[in-house]
C-alpha cells in the first residue's frame, strides 16, 4: 500500500501539468490584436427587439446594432446627427422635420427611408405588442390614443413621410426634450421585411432577432448569440459612418455575478466591466487608479414614504425624517465610491439643471419638527417599517438610517428584507410604510425625474398629490419659451415636492467600471452609454510606451 | 427486472403529477407577477402581456391548458425571455449541465473511492485519519467558498487555469468539476470507508486471505465489489443532485448551464421556466434513483435473489 502514494502524486502532477498548458493568450491581448472589445454586460439580454425590451444590458447591445434619427455627443449628451443628417423645428416648436441621409443603409443593403420610421413607430405603438416604453412617443400627436387602442388609424398620428428622405413629426406641445428621446432604443427603427418574414408586426418574441436573421442599421451586425455565454457583434461595412468605427467587433458577456466579473477582468478576460464590487473600489483607486473609472450617473437613490398612513401624512414628520439622515456619512462610510449626498430628486447638472434645495442634515430642527407633530423625543411614534429588496447595500443603508433615526429622533424602525418581486408587489399595492427606491433617468432632462410625481402617476406610489405641482410640470414648463424659463418652472415644482417631502432623497448614483488601459475613446457620460463608434483598442506594444 | 423497472416508472407518474400541480399553484400564488417591474407597467401594456400568455384566464383554465401543452411535450414560452421557449432553454443548456455533472461525478468517485478505501485498509491510523479529516472538511466547505478559493489560487495567483467559461479554453472545466465534485467526493469517501470496513470482516475475505492471495488481489478482486455497494446506491441521487445543484458553480464560473436558469426563473417569476425546470429535475431524480437501484441489484446477487423471491 505504501506504493500507492507516489502513484497518486504522479496523477496529481499530470493533472496539473495538463492544465498548465491551458492558459493561452488572454482575451484582452487577442482582442487588442484583432480589434475585438470584450465587454462585461451585466445580465443575459432578454431580447434584442428595441420595441419589447426594457433593460440596460439590452440597451448596450441594441445601440451597437441599431441607430435612431439622432445620436448624442458621447460626453455632453447634446443631440448629434445620426440617420437624420439635419432637422428643423417650426416656430411654435411643435413640428420637427428631419432630413435623412441618403447614405444610410440597412445591414442587408436596403436603403433607409422616412417610411421605415413611420412603419417602425407604428409597430412600436401597436397595443398588442405590449411595449413598456410606448410612453416615449406620447409627446407626438395622437400617439397615446393609438397606443391605448382608442385610435386605430395611424395616419392620424403625427408622424408622416413627406418625401422618401423627409420625416415630419408633429407634437402635442412644445417638448424641449423631444430630441433626447430619439436616441432611446424604443424609438429606433426596425427592418420591416425582416419582421414580417418571421411573424406579425405586433408579435413579440419571433425569430427575427436571432443571429443570421437580424437586420439592423447600426455600426455593428449580430454575428452570434449563445444564451448565457456570449453575444458577438462584428463591424457593419454598410454603416453610413463606417470609417469612424475602429473596432472590428464586440463580445458581450452576461456577467451577473460582479465578483466573478472582477476576477475575469483581473485575468484579462474582459476589457470593460459592467460594475465594480464595493469592497474593491478603494483598492483599485489606491493601487490601480488607471484601471477604474467612477463617473456621475443620472440616478437617485431615495426612500418613498406612504403618505396615506396617519403618522406619515404629517409633513412635519416626513421632514423630520429627511433632516435626520446624515447623507455624508452614508456615502463616505458605506458606499465609498464617490456617490454624492442627494438633497433633491433630480441629480445635479442634468443638462444644465441643478435643483436648489433647502434640505439639509439638521438634527436639532428635525427634533423640533417631530415634537411639533406631537412626538416629542419620539414618544408615541409608532414602530415604522422600512422595506427593501434583497441586497447587501440596501441593507447597510437601511441599518444606518435606522440608527440615525434612533439616535436623532429616538424612534424605533423595523427593517424588512423582501424578495424583488414581493417588494415590487408591496410598493405598487401601497402595502408599505417606507420603501427604498431608485430612479434612473430615461433621458437627460429633469422632466424624467419630475413627471413621475404627478397625481396618480404610475411611478408615484406615495399617494402624494398636488395640483400646483401637476400644473407646473404638465402645463407651465412645457409651454415655456426658453430653456431658462422652463428650468425655472421645473425648479418651482421640485421645491414644492421637497417641501412636501413624500420622498427622501439619499444619494446620487455613480457609474463604476473597470476599464483596461488599452481601451481608448470611451467617454463617461451621465447616461453611462458607451458610444462604440468612437472606441478603439491600443495594442499592448504601444501601450507599454504610452506615458 | 423489466417488471421492476416498469413498476417503478408507473409509481413515478402520480409523484410527478403532484409535483407539477403543487408547483403550478404555488408559483401562481406567490406575490409579484412575471411582468411586475420597478417602473410601473401601464395598464394597457399589462393587459396585452397577460393576454399573450393567457394569464387573463381563470387559474384552472391556465392549469388545464398547461397540462394539455405538457402532454404534447411543450413546456411553453419563457416569460422573461420573450423570444425563447422553455424547451429551447432547457435542452439548449442541458448538455452543459450534464457534462459538468459527469465531470464532477468522475472527480467525486475517483477521489472519494480512493480516499475511502485507503482509510478502510488501516482503520484508526494516520492513513485513516488524514483522508477522513479532509473528507469532513470537504463536506463542510460549501462550493461558494471552495470555488472562489480555487480560482484565487489556481486561476489568479498561479495562473494555471482559466477561471470562467465552458469549452472555450483548454482546462476551463477543471476548477468547476473539482468545486462541484468535492463535497460529493467527501460523502463517497465516507461511504466507501464504511462499506469496505464491513466487507473486510466477512468470512469470504478471511478465506481469500487464508488461501494466501496477495492483499491487493483480496482488496481489488474480492472486497471492492461488495464494499462499494453503498457508493453505487448513492451515485444515482448524487448525479441528480449534481444536475440540480450546479447553479452556484455555474454562476461562479460563468457556465451557461441549466442551473442558472432554474434560480433566475424563481426570482423572475418566470412561471413556465420554473415549471419546466422543476419537472425536468423531478424526472431526473426519479430516473437516476431507478438507475442506481438497477445497478445495485445487478451488482448484488443477494438483492437479485430477493427480487426473484418476491415473485408469486
| CB-based contacts of B55-61 (< 8 A; 24+ apart in sequence) | B59/B25, B59/B28
Chain B: give the shortest CA distance to residue A311, in Å: 26
Count of residues in chain A: 547
Q: A59-69 burial, b for 16+ CB within 10 Å, e for fewer?
A: bbbbbbbbbbb
Query: Could A419 and B267 be called an inter-chain contact, meaning their C-beta atoms sit closer than 8 Å?
Result: yes
Place of cell 417610411: A115
Give the lowest-confidence range in A41-50, A63-72, A184-193, A532-541: A532-541
Query: Could A459 and B44 be called an inter-chain contact, meaning their C-beta atoms sit closer than 8 Å?
Result: no
Mean pLDDT of A84-100: 95
| Nearest neighbour of A458 by CB, restricted to B42, B77, B267 | B42
Residue A35 is placed in which grid cell?
A: 480589434
Helix (H, G, I), strand (E, B) or coil at B148: helix
Predicted confidence (pLDDT) at residue B309 exceeds the cutoff of 50: no
Query: Could B159 and A267 be called an inter-chain contact, meaning their C-beta atoms sit closer than 8 Å?
Result: yes
Predicted confidence (pLDDT) at residue A526 exceeds the cutoff of 60: yes
Residues near B16 by beta carbon (within 8 Å), at least 6 away in sequence: B279, B282, B283, B286
| Nearest neighbour of B118 by CB, restricted to A4, A44, A264 | A4
Place of cell 419546466: B276
Maximum alpha-carbon separation in chain A: 95
Chain B residue closest to A461 (CA)? B40
Percentage with pLDDT > 90 across chain A: 86
Predicted confidence (pLDDT) at residue A125 exceeds the cutoff of 50: yes
Q: Which of A109, A193, A178 is nearest to A138 (CA)?
A: A178
Burial environment of residue A538 by CB neighbours within 10 A (0 to 12, 13 to 18, 19 or more):
middle
Query: Could A132 and B45 be called an inter-chain contact, meaning their C-beta atoms sit closer than 8 Å?
Result: yes
Residues of B in contact with A424 (CB under 8 A): 32, 36-38
Give the lowest-confidence range in A32-46, A378-392, B126-140: B126-140
Residues near B85 by beta carbon (within 8 Å), at least 6 away in sequence: B74, B75, B76, B77, B78
Query: Could B40 and A210 be called an inter-chain contact, meaning their C-beta atoms sit closer than 8 Å?
Result: no
Residues near A242 by beta carbon (within 8 Å), at least 6 away in sequence: A219, A235, A236
Residues of A in contact with B118 (CB under 8 A): 1, 4
**Count of C-beta atoms within a 10 Å radius of residue B22:** 11
Summarised one tens digit per residue, pLDDT across range A254-264 is: 998 899 999 99
Residues of B in contact with A18 (CB under 8 A): 171
Chain A: give the shortest CA distance to residue B235, in Å: 23
User: Which pLDDT score is estimated for B306?
Assistant: 56
Predicted confidence (pLDDT) at residue B115 exceeds the cutoff of 70: yes
Chain A: give the shortest CA distance to residue B294, in Å: 32
ipTM: 0.86
DSSP per residue over B56-76, as a string? TS-HHHHHHHHHHHHHTT---
Residue A131 is placed in which grid cell?
A: 411595449
Cα angle A225, A226, A229; round to 5: 120
Query: Could A421 and B42 be called an inter-chain contact, meaning their C-beta atoms sit closer than 8 Å?
Result: no
Give the lowest-confidence range in A142-151, A274-283, B139-148: B139-148
User: Which pLDDT score is estimated for A353?
Assistant: 94
Residues of B in contact with A54 (CB under 8 A): 37, 39
**DSSP assignment letter at A353:** B
Predicted confidence (pLDDT) at residue A380 exceeds the cutoff of 80: yes
Burial environment of residue B38 by CB neighbours within 10 A (0 to 12, 13 to 18, 19 or more):
middle
User: Which pLDDT score is estimated for A543?
Assistant: 59
In the stretch 103-142 of chain B, residues with CB closer than 8 A to chain A read 114, 118, 121-122, 127
Residues of B in contact with A419 (CB under 8 A): 32, 267
Mean pLDDT of B180-195: 89
Residue A518 is placed in which grid cell?
A: 488599452
A13: number of CA atoms within 13 Å, CB side? 6
With an 8 Å Cβ cutoff, is B254 touching chain A? yes
User: Which pLDDT score is estimated for B311?
Assistant: 40
Q: In the A/B pair of chains, how many CB contacts fall below 8 A?
A: 165
User: Which pLDDT score is estimated for A5?
Assistant: 46
Work out the mean pLDDT of chain B and round it to a whole number.
86
Work out the mean pLDDT of chain A and round it to a whole number.
92
User: Which pLDDT score is estimated for A545?
Assistant: 46
| Nearest neighbour of A147 by CB, restricted to B39, B44, B82 | B44
Give the bridge partners for A512, in sequence order. A294
Residues near A419 by beta carbon (within 8 Å), at least 6 away in sequence: A389, A390, B32, B267
Rounded distance between C-alpha atoms, residue A50 and residue A202, angstroms: 13
pTM of the model: 0.89
At A13, the pLDDT band (50, 70, 90 cuts) reads very low
Amino acid at each position: 500500500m505504501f506504493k500507492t502514494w507516489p502513484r497518486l502524486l504522479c496523477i496529481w502532477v499530470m493533472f496539473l501539468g495538463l492544465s498548465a498548458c491551458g492558459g493561452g493568450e488572454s482575451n484582452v491581448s487577442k482582442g487588442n490584436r484583432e480589434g475585438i472589445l470584450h465587454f462585461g454586460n451585466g445580465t443575459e439580454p432578454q431580447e434584442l427587439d428595441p420595441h419589447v425590451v426594457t433593460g440596460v444590458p439590452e440597451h448596450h447591445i441594441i445601440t451597437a446594432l441599431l441607430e435612431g434619427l439622432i445620436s448624442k455627443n458621447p460626453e455632453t449628451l447634446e443631440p448629434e446627427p445620426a440617420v437624420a443628417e439635419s432637422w428643423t423645428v417650426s416656430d411654435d416648436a411643435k413640428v420637427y422635420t428631419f432630413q435623412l441621409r441618403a447614405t444610410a443603409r440597412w445591414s442587408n443593403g436596403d436603403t433607409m427611408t422616412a417610411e421605415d420610421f413611420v412603419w417602425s413607430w407604428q409597430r412600436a405603438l401597436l397595443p398588442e405588442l405590449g411595449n413598456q416604453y410606448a410612453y416615449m412617443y406620447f409627446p407626438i400627436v395622437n400617439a397615446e390614443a393609438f397606443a391605448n387602442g382608442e385610435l386605430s388609424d395611424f395616419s392620424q398620428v403625427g408622424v408622416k413621410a413627406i418625401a422618401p428622405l423627409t420625416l415630419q413629426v408633429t407634437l402635442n406641445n412644445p417638448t424641449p426634450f423631444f430630441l433626447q428621446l430619439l436616441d432611446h432604443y424604443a424609438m429606433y427603427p426596425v427592418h420591416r421585411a425582416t419582421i414580417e418574414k418571421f411573424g406579425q408586426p405586433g408579435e413579440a418574441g419571433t425569430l427575427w432577432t436571432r443571429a443570421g436573421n437580424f437586420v439592423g442599421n447600426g455600426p455593428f451586425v449580430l454575428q452570434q448569440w449563445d444564451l448565457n455565454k456570449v453575444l458577438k457583434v462584428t463591424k457593419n461595412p454598410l454603416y453610413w459612418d463606417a470609417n469612424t468605427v475602429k473596432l472590428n467587433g464586440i463580445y458581450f458577456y452576461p456577467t451577473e455575478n460582479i465578483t466573478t466579473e472582477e476576477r475575469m477582468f483581473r485575468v484579462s478576460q474582459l476589457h470593460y466591466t459592467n460594475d465594480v464590487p464595493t469592497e474593491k473600489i478603494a483598492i483599485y483607486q489606491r493601487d490601480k487608479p488607471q484601471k477604474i473609472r467612477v463617473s456621475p450617473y443620472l440616478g437617485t437613490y431615495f426612500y418613498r414614504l406612504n403618505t396615506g398612513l396617519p403618522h406619515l401624512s404629517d409633513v412635519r414628520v416626513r421632514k423630520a425624517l429627511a433632516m435626520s439622515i446624515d447623507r455624508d456619512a452614508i456615502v463616505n462610510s458605506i458606499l465609498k465610491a464617490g456617490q454624492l449626498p442627494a438633497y433633491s430628486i433630480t441629480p445635479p447638472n442634468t443638462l444644465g439643471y441643478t435643483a436648489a434645495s433647502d434640505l439639509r442634515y439638521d438634527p436639532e430642527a428635525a427634533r423640533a419638527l417631530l415634537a411639533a407633530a406631537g412626538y416629542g423625543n419620539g414618544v408615541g411614534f409608532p414602530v415604522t417599517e422600512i422595506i427593501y429588496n434583497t441586497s447587501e447595500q440596501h441593507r447597510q443603508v437601511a441599518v444606518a438610517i435606522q440608527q440615525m433615526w434612533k439616535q436623532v429622533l429616538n424612534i424605533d424602525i423595523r427593517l424588512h428584507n423582501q424578495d424583488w418581486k414581493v417588494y415590487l408587489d408591496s410598493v405598487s399595492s401601497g402595502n408599505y410604510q417606507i420603501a427604498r427606491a431608485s430612479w434612473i433617468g430615461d433621458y437627460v432632462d429633469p422632466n424624467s425625474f419630475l413627471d413621475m410625481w404627478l397625481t396618480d402617476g404610475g411611478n408615484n406610489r406615495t399617494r402624494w398629490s398636488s395640483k400646483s405641482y401637476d400644473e407646473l410640470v404638465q402645463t407651465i414648463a412645457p409651454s415655456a419659451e426658453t430653456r431658462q424659463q422652463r428650468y425655472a418652472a421645473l425648479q418651482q415644482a421640485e421645491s414644492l415636492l421637497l417641501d412636501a417631502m413624500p420622498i427622501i432623497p439619499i444619494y446620487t448614483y455613480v457609474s463604476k467600471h473597470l476599464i483596461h488601459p488599452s481601451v481608448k475613446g470611451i467617454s463617461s457620460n451621465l447616461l453611462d452609454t458607451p458610444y462604440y463608434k468612437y472606441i478603439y483598442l491600443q495594442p499592448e506594444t504601444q501601450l507599454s510606451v504610452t506615458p | 427486472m423489466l417488471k421492476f423497472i416498469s413498476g417503478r416508472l408507473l409509481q413515478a407518474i402520480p409523484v410527478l403529477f403532484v409535483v407539477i400541480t403543487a408547483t403550478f399553484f404555488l408559483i401562481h400564488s406567490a406575490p409579484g407577477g412575471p411582468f411586475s417591474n420597478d417602473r410601473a407597467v401601464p395598464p394597457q401594456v399589462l393587459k396585452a402581456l397577460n393576454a399573450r400568455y393567457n394569464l387573463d384566464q381563470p387559474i384552472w383554465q391556465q392549469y388545464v391548458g398547461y397540462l394539455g401543452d405538457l402532454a404534447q411535450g411543450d413546456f411553453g414560452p419563457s416569460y422573461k425571455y420573450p423570444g425563447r421557449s422553455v424547451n429551447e432553454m432547457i435542452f439548449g443548456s442541458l448538455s452543459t449541465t450534464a457534462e459538468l455533472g459527469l465531470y464532477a461525478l468522475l472527480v467525486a468517485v475517483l477521489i472519494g473511492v480512493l480516499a475511502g478505501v485507503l482509510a478502510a485498509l488501516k482503520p484508526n491510523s494516520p492513513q485513516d485519519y488524514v483522508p477522513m479529516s479532509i473528507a469532513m472538511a470537504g463536506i463542510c466547505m460549501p462550493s461558494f467558498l471552495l470555488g472562489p478559493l480555487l480560482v484565487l489560487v489556481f486561476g489568479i495567483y498561479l495562473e494555471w487555469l482559466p477561471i470562467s467559461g465552458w469549452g472555450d479554453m483548454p482546462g476551463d472545466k477543471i476548477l468547476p468539476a473539482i468545486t462541484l465534485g468535492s463535497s460529493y467526493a467527501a460523502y463517497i469517501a465516507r461511504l466507501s470507508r464504511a462499506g469496505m470496513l464491513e466487507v473486510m470482516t466477512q468470512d469470504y475475505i478471511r478465506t481469500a486471505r487464508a488461501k494466501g492471495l496477495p492483499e491487493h488481489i483480496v482488496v481489488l478482486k474480492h472486497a471492492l465489489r461488495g464494499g462499494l455497494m453503498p457508493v453505487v446506491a448513492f451515485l444515482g441521487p448524487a448525479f441528480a443532485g449534481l444536475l440540480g445543484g450546479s447553479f452556484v458553480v455555474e454562476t461562479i464560473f460563468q457556465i451557461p448551464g441549466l442551473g442558472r436558469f432554474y434560480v433566475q426563473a424563481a426570482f423572475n417569476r418566470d412561471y413556465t421556466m420554473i415549471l419546466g425546470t422543476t419537472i425536468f429535475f423531478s424526472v431526473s431524480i426519479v430516473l437516476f434513483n431507478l438507475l442506481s437501484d438497477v445497478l445495485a441489484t445487478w451488482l448484488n446477487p443477494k438483492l437479485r435473489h430477493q427480487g426473484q423471491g418476491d415473485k408469486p
